Structure 1
């Protein structure tokens, strides 16, 4: 390409002349091959600008959708948390209502003035059965190992070792029952452990 053509291309790179010709057309007047190359470049630039515009629109759309999804997820988390709190509150209310019945029965037993100890004992037994039904409905079960049972470190708390007819290292007696719920120990059973009779 001649120096004159290069100078013409540089001079007209950023604007069209008064005739309205494109840069490629003006360059082609001086160098047809270079003009064709410029035309190809202009077409490629226009294509890339279109692609960039489409990509920017897509990014904007995806950003808006992502923000909407994030907002939906936050709302879902809040609703789920609120539902859990509502369920927990209702469960607590239900448990308290059932315990109130137990308390009422204990109150009636204490108000009994007949002096009939056996009748009082029977009333307390019935109240305890009612309380056990409440615990059972909540999935709470008693931990009360039998004498001679193996000691379970997860469910039993050893209080002391005592002489006993039971095999050495096994449960001799239950000092206080334990309780578990859903496989989780709420309170371990307190037990004494046999040291054996000492007889050879």
Structure 2
């Protein structure tokens, strides 16, 4: 009878020991996943801080009229020497800012930050922030027709929603 009790105790202790080991392994696995997630999104604040810089570069680029972006198209007209010099400087500035924006976007992309231009897509409140609405008879209601600021994701997670204009129901 005592032997049976001892066998039962041994069995219970062995079971408790195995549960302890399993719990310990679960904690270890959970911790590993948390560390992995933390590492993956550690640059989130830094990346978010850079987004306004990208926007400002983009605004600077769009401020230069398209006909002044390339020297050859500007110089086909009868420009004075001073105007030619100004055009040279402006095209060089545009090229430099464009290259800077491009490199910054590439650097962000290498770290999992993707730029999203949702123009023409259906409005999604999880990925887009509606700034205004306007009826447009030739477009479907709920469709994005203007993008004020691009949206960005970090490894699929929304870093900043795109700021957009949405087609409203014509009434």
Aligned residues: 131
Cα 1:193–1:54, aligned 2, differ >3 Å: closer, same or farther?
A: closer
Q: After TM superposition, give the deviation of residue 128 of structure 1 in Å.
A: 0.6
Identify the match of residue 7 of structure 2 among 35, 39, 54.
Answer: 54
1:120 aligns with 2:93: yes
Contact 1:158 1:193 in 2 (8 A): yes
Cα 1:66–1:119, aligned 2, differ >3 Å: closer, same or farther?
A: same
* Aligned-partner Cα distance in 1 for 2:38–2:138: 50
User: Unaligned 5+ residue runs, structure 2?
Assistant: 58-85
Cα 1:123–1:62, aligned 2, differ >3 Å: closer, same or farther?
A: same
TM-score normalized by structure 1? 0.45
Contact 1:168 1:193 in 2 (8 A): no
* Aligned-partner Cα distance in 2 for 1:132–1:64: 53
Q: Which has the larger radius of gyration?
A: 1
Task: Give the CA RMSD over aligned residues.
Answer: 4.3
Contact 2:123 2:144 in 1 (8 A): no
Matched with 2:117 is 143
* Aligned-partner Cα distance in 2 for 1:65–1:161: 61
* Aligned-partner Cα distance in 1 for 2:169–2:20: 71
User: Unaligned 5+ residue runs, structure 1?
Assistant: 1-47, 107-114
Q: After TM superposition, give the deviation of residue 143 of structure 1 in Å.
A: 2.3
1:80 aligns with 2:32: yes
Structure with the larger RCO, 1 or 2 (CA within 8 Å, 6+ apart): 2
